[in-house]
Structure 1
């Protein structure tokens, strides 16, 4: 009997433990903020709290990173809301027209909190554990009020690969007692740093373009939920304090009065927490709301209120760093406290405006569908001759959740060409793509289509022009009249093997999938030729750059079957011919029809190289055209087996300490023997005025007296006057040069800097800027002169090899469709 009594007493003593949630410290085995938790530990904690609160937490995996780490999100709300979660989602989408039917109940605000989009801004993921714990703390009446009145979504780590790259490194090198000395090893994060994802892309600039796996998978979920509010948690330099809204100018002009007003409301709630604790902070500075591809702006363009929070710290801060100017030591623990405070302040602000934030969201989408803003009520995209590009564009529209169709019949109309400003007559074909502005996401559509965004303030730090016509190289028109699109049907490519002997298969060269097609042919050992001049055969005209796959040199039993199958896989329409003799141009055995060999491609990485430039190259080969690339460390240039390399790519970077006299001599000998060097952006500095290289710099104008007597207070604007954060320019192209094949007459690129290169006197000036090249975006008055009459793309022959100079990155952020074609030319031709 005594044993039974003791047993029940034991159960009673344990009951409070079972009733109380596990704290982050109890789970981790160390106080939160005393060490960086690994990504797996954070997810384990979320899983644990889900098991302890099954009626209030639902954890789902919405994807995985490139390195296979799970992308998870937690839904947190009251038991009542959690019991009808799917009903809330559907009623919400019905209320804004993104799901058919009428809602049968009102919905609470849906708030999405995103942590750690930049991996080495690692306070965010650690903060997420404390936020989750407090939301589930039944003793906290405020957080329980949050759960009763809203659905909260927490993504603890958007970028787990970058986060692990940083935390694994830091936990290896930190002292037993963290060394707060700023020059200590633990504050010197090695290349490439943890900021970026596996392919070294900045995920915070990928929301609109969705080039990265993590972004694509996250936005599928985002579009299924369309939150009313999205908060993005970051870190900035360790010497800075804390930033929260109101945001800095420029705001995009189409953000609503409510979105601007709520930006101020958020600031008020954050201010109260920070003032109470005497924490330093700033607002209305640095962090603007203009470029629509951030974690605050893209949600805002989708009708939400999107905000950014920035904590001083970043990868350099570690667990603690001394700040002599501030007379303090910035610790991870204090950084967590600040992000935790703004997390709660965010939810308090939403709670205070719970009805308004929902009603304004509905109004935003309702107005978009019934009375769309802007001059254009329809958009028409010409499709003839660029069917594959339209398929790619349609896939992008699907990811955005934008509806589209075809014209369905021929129409004559007036329209404004979307890279110009004048109205003209447009002949619309039945197969042309039509996008109506009368849809819930028409604000997103209009803003991403605009060719010349209005910039209210020149001090902005990212791209200032992004028109879809430029990005995809489309011929598009804005119409003032409403067109109702017909159902869009994807054209299936069928390549039938003819019943006659085929001499060769011909494939046009103008789309990115054409490069993927070429890549697969080369990887499978096919001999592929290309015509360097236009030709005509069987009364069909083909442009320069056309691919020719002859039976000669490809002697294999299933030649026809293999070629046609690979072509269909990549949406390539083949033209079979019976002969190698053309009506005009060069016959297929002519010197103007050379073979394309499968090159051994090497790309340089490591200290001094821009991580994002290198990442763009790496991603281009592995994920876009799927062609093998070998990566080498820049310090190994002298020891490379040069005879085994065909193409060497130098991404943007500082090569002063990498390419000395010996490296330069080795490069020259290799090029003369037949190698191809591709130097990108600042990498071209290594060859300026060097013997054997024909690249020279333009002479800059002398400084005027006014340049010496600048006002200190105007420093930021002075810097802006000598910048081009990202503006559209149309290059004048030599269409006869292989580097330009398939890029069309109008090659528009995103220029971000001026390298002031003189035209090549002994080489080919393939792409250059003239007096009239500017198209759209902000260019400072001092920068404008530098972006005139200057070389952007040039090639130089050296012995049997070639040097390609690129003062512009055609694959920057994987954004520019035509740039991907140009880069394929550089590699393969």
Structure 2
């Protein structure tokens, strides 16, 4: 064997020996068989590749944290050096202990923790492709810089937050595209059909769900987030395909809980990105459009938990496809998009590692200062013990989930405080059993975010809603105090769920008070199991108990066919939903109407149809769908809008029209069909912009309000062009809370008090109904309780309808101008929908 042959043999042998150490780790291109950016990597292949990296690299571990509604697996990765992996529990627990959310001794083993979240919007696809490249470059043996970063930094990566939406988009694109991408913006591959891939299975925007955790994906992710509480959190997005790249620092307004350090380090990170983008000549912008106020984004929610939370926005979105020609004439490709995201990802890890000690120090200070010296005007938030117990339970369960401490006041006292029900600071009475949430705790900043009566806005031009206070959200009375009250930690959420059964063992009728969505869930369950129920339209007394209008009366007489199973169904449902029942031995009442009276109305079994599809707002349609399917647990048949004309609506007695524009759907013929069905006894429920479409049409009494007083003045008509957006703010209601007067004698408002605090998200105004019932109304220009509303908008909203009922022949039309199901988090509005479905029109 000559010298050269011997050398080749030796190198091959060496390669075979070394391969278990290095050569088994493959790049995305080698593993997947194509260059990233040439095509999309579907969810299962993303999982395959990140699993491969975790298997072959001692710098990565992979962890499953749940699955989507469509049963796609959700995973996250821990990326750091081997020594940190050996001590990862110590590092994780140290981080929680130093901020007061975990007991135990803190050791010196503390590392910067960076969380990178990809593809929360399914059709903003480039970030999951970038995640694969970022993961590989962080761990591939030749990257010495990354190796150094991972010595003092732990990187958590969620490669795909919304795989249901992403696969919806990717699978559609593959069906409509040819062999090569067509970059013309008018090509069909750039015209994504309804509902698009942005949302999850139930058509929710997961990037508006961080704080509310309505959706399964968010709930599961938060369980993992609480185990880590990272110091940096990046949420990857895409915007219009003609836009330059966006990164921190963010735009005003910043919420007031955000510290100077958080502002400062956003700028530090942005400056690091700038070096790389300038070097490549890539366009970018900062400090515009994307503010840090609304608490439920992937940048704000982590920020309010001490992190440096940031949104990174790349041009693209569902219109971009694999390649699209921009307005300037150049072509934007998927490869371009992923490279930009990859660059900011690596830059973020780099700058975090460079400042690891300061990140840890300031993160700890954020929580410690909240516990010892919280900022903000109000130091204590009070929930009155006399509130409806289910509503207290729901709030306290939410506080438990967010690791927020609470207790009782411990003694009676009178203090000056802000009364949420009046919007005024006045003398208020605190009882010993009232519930106290103090700002003096590790989560004090988030307490402030959730409870502050009217969070201060530094700029009225915001990206989202401006009010969400927990008292209004849950329908609870209480106060905000400038005084500090230390709560006694002697209560639990379950203390407010102590159902009991009283009365006869073999009752003439079961009676259930009606005051919360849990009562509606009980009714939904027994109705599906064949039980016939009634509800009382007046208050009544029986057996020493008082029951308000809306209370359920479930008589044995109507349910003879159920035999012995009648009692079992009722009692099991009561246990399932923690309901207290009274078993009446008679149909005779002490005061009010006996159970055979016409005032005790039979509930016709609702057979619900929901119009959904092209022309509807996918978000509102999803809110309604999710409400029936996952919250009320009552069946609703989804009818595609394209099938409206051909569908026999007589199979249903409830038809719901979500908000939408319905172009080509709600034609004259379609509206006539719906009107005829309603007048024959149907119940039509309409939301949002659909009301505008029906307003003024034959058979529909709803009329938009015309306010002549707010015609523009000469001065306003001559305003400078550059001020146009800011001047429009005077007529805007971007999302604020209004005090709504309620006619709670009407079945639509059973279970409500004199006022309901409604979340208004637009400026649409409607006159009172001439005939019918104006059940929820804004009667004053001073009704704005929290959040921004322009002065013109306040004036225009005076004496307007929020929700009402119009008789239409033998049927009913229920108009929801305000959306009680907005993003699924406005808990106190949900009973209105149940009332509309079960009570109205019976």
What TM-score, normalized to structure 1? 0.97
CA distance in 2 between partners of 1:768 and 1:404 (Å): 35
Relative to 1, partners in 2 of residues 1:715 and 1:508: Cα closer, same or farther, differing over 3 Å? same
User: Which is further off, 73-82 or 748-757?
Assistant: 748-757
CA distance in 1 between partners of 2:343 and 2:728 (Å): 34
CA distance in 2 between partners of 1:84 and 1:569 (Å): 43
CA distance in 1 between partners of 2:387 and 2:444 (Å): 27
Q: Structure 1 segments of 4 or more deviating over 6 A?
A: 1-8
2:189 corresponds in structure 1 to 186
User: Which is further off, 661-670 or 296-305?
Assistant: 661-670
Residue 512 of structure 2, aligned match among 484, 507, 531: 507
Residue 438 of structure 1, CA deviation: 2.4
Residue 674 of structure 1, CA deviation: 0.9
Residue 157 of structure 2, aligned match among 129, 139, 154: 154
After superposition, residues 360-759 of structure 1 pair within 5 angstroms as: 360-384=362-386, 386-407=388-409, 415-418=417-420, 420-430=423-433, 432-479=434-481, 480-489=483-492, 490-491=494-495, 492-496=497-501, 498=503, 500-555=505-560, 556-701=563-708, 702-759=711-768
Q: Residues 379 and 440 of structure 2 are in contact (CA less than 8 Å); yes or no, is this contact kept in structure 1? A: yes
2:199 corresponds in structure 1 to 196
CA distance in 2 between partners of 1:204 and 1:473 (Å): 25
Residue 711 of structure 1, CA deviation: 1.9
RMSD over equivalenced CA pairs, Å: 2.0
2:330 corresponds in structure 1 to 328
Alpha-carbon displacement from aligned partner over 1:210-260 (angstroms, at most 9, x marks no partner): 111111110111111111110111000111111011111101122101001
Residues matched between the structures, number? 826
Residue 169 of structure 2, aligned match among 157, 162, 166: 166
CA distance in 1 between partners of 2:597 and 2:93 (Å): 63
Give the secondary structure class of the aligned counterpart of 1:554.
Answer: helix
Alpha-carbon displacement from aligned partner over 1:749-778 (angstroms, at most 9, x marks no partner): 110112221111121111111223211111
Residue 488 of structure 1, CA deviation: 2.0
What TM-score, normalized to structure 2? 0.95
User: Is 1:343 equivalent to 2:345 in the alignment?
Assistant: yes
Q: Residues 247 and 313 of structure 2 are in contact (CA less than 8 Å); yes or no, is this contact kept in structure 1? A: yes
Q: Residues 692 and 704 of structure 2 are in contact (CA less than 8 Å); yes or no, is this contact kept in structure 1? A: no
CA distance in 2 between partners of 1:646 and 1:359 (Å): 61
User: Is 1:84 equivalent to 2:91 in the alignment?
Assistant: no
User: Is 1:826 equivalent to 2:836 in the alignment?
Assistant: yes
1:782 corresponds in structure 2 to 792
Residue 414 of structure 1, CA deviation: 5.1
After superposition, residues 118-267 of structure 1 pair within 5 angstroms as: 118-267=121-270
2:37 corresponds in structure 1 to 33
Contiguous gaps of at least 5 residues in structure 1: none
User: Which is further off, 714-723 or 303-312?
Assistant: 714-723
Q: Residues 415 and 426 of structure 1 are in contact (CA less than 8 Å); yes or no, is this contact kept in structure 2? A: no
User: Which is further off, 277-286 or 550-559?
Assistant: 550-559
Residue 638 of structure 1, CA deviation: 1.3
Q: Residues 413 and 428 of structure 1 are in contact (CA less than 8 Å); yes or no, is this contact kept in structure 2? A: no
After superposition, residues 250-289 of structure 1 pair within 5 angstroms as: 250-289=253-292
Residue 783 of structure 1, CA deviation: 2.5
Q: Residues 522 and 597 of structure 1 are in contact (CA less than 8 Å); yes or no, is this contact kept in structure 2? A: no
Residue 587 of structure 1, CA deviation: 1.6
Q: Residues 231 and 309 of structure 1 are in contact (CA less than 8 Å); yes or no, is this contact kept in structure 2? A: yes
User: Which is further off, 387-396 or 206-215?
Assistant: 387-396
Contiguous gaps of at least 5 residues in structure 2: none
Residue 91 of structure 1, CA deviation: 1.2
CA distance in 2 between partners of 1:821 and 1:686 (Å): 26
CA distance in 2 between partners of 1:544 and 1:656 (Å): 41
Residue 410 of structure 1, CA deviation: 5.4
Alpha-carbon displacement from aligned partner over 1:607-645 (angstroms, at most 9, x marks no partner): 111010000000000110100011011121111112111
CA distance in 1 between partners of 2:147 and 2:427 (Å): 59
CA distance in 2 between partners of 1:659 and 1:334 (Å): 42
CA distance in 2 between partners of 1:627 and 1:552 (Å): 25
Residue 713 of structure 1, CA deviation: 0.9
CA distance in 2 between partners of 1:104 and 1:142 (Å): 27
2:314 corresponds in structure 1 to 311
Residue 803 of structure 2, aligned match among 772, 783, 793: 793
Give the secondary structure class of the aligned counterpart of 1:797.
Answer: strand
CA distance in 1 between partners of 2:268 and 2:8 (Å): 56
Residue 463 of structure 1, CA deviation: 0.7
